[in-house]
Amino acid sequence: MGLWDRIIMMNSIVSKYLMGVVIGMCCMNVHADIIGKAYVFGFNIERITGIPEIQMEEYGCLYDISRYGFISLLQVGHSMKEYQDLNVRAKVIFNNDVYFIDRYGIVRNGINYFSIDTKKFELLLTRKRKCPRHEP
């Protein structure tokens, strides 16, 4: 097989792959992962004890949040040393992706850490149900 035959064959494989991606994007439900759930306690509320990650759904008010808006606010550059897992103020869920945000805007997603502007984050929220305990 010559060089030109290999190039033509590779071009055909790449074309078929790209065609599959385009067809998949057109036919799948693109809205399935756009809106997520956010449990938010509020960043400006003083607490004597913090809220651990596992209790965020109990204390936080439920909101809808745009995935694209949320992801666009994330900034790289923080480590797990700065994150306070016992002082969480928000839990954001998009399908299988879970993000926790501490009081100071440090975000944890698995082993990855980011920061977020908490005021801009709160502007993305759309109330899903009435908050029984407080207003963020």
- Does residue 119 form part of some domain? yes
- Please indicate, yes or no, whether residues 18 and 85 belong to a single structural domain of this protein: no
Number of domains in the chain: 2
**Residue 103: which domain range?**
35-127
* Half-sphere exposure at residue 18, Cβ-oriented, CA atoms within 13 angstroms: 6
- Please indicate, yes or no, whether residues 52 and 103 belong to a single structural domain of this protein: yes
Q: What's residue 128's pLDDT? A: 83
Q: What's residue 20's pLDDT? A: 46
Q: What's residue 48's pLDDT? A: 82
Number of Cβ atoms within 10 Å of the Cβ of 1: 7
**Cα(76)–Cα(71) distance, integer angstroms:** 11
- Please indicate, yes or no, whether residues 45 and 17 belong to a single structural domain of this protein: no
Q: What's residue 50's pLDDT? A: 85
- Does residue 103 form part of some domain? yes
Q: What's residue 45's pLDDT? A: 81
- Does residue 134 form part of some domain? no
**Cα(85)–Cα(54) distance, integer angstroms:** 9
- The pLDDT averaged over each successive group of 10 residues in the chain (136 residues) is 58 45 47 80 84 91 94 86 91 95 94 94 87 55
Q: What are phi and psi of 18, to 5 degrees?
A: -60, -40
Q: What's residue 81's pLDDT? A: 79
Q: What's residue 2's pLDDT? A: 65
- Please indicate, yes or no, whether residues 51 and 7 belong to a single structural domain of this protein: no
- Please indicate, yes or no, whether residues 23 and 61 belong to a single structural domain of this protein: no
Q: What's residue 135's pLDDT? A: 47
- Does residue 13 form part of some domain? yes
Q: What are phi and psi of 7, to 5 degrees?
A: -65, -45
Q: What's residue 115's pLDDT? A: 94
Q: What's residue 77's pLDDT? A: 78
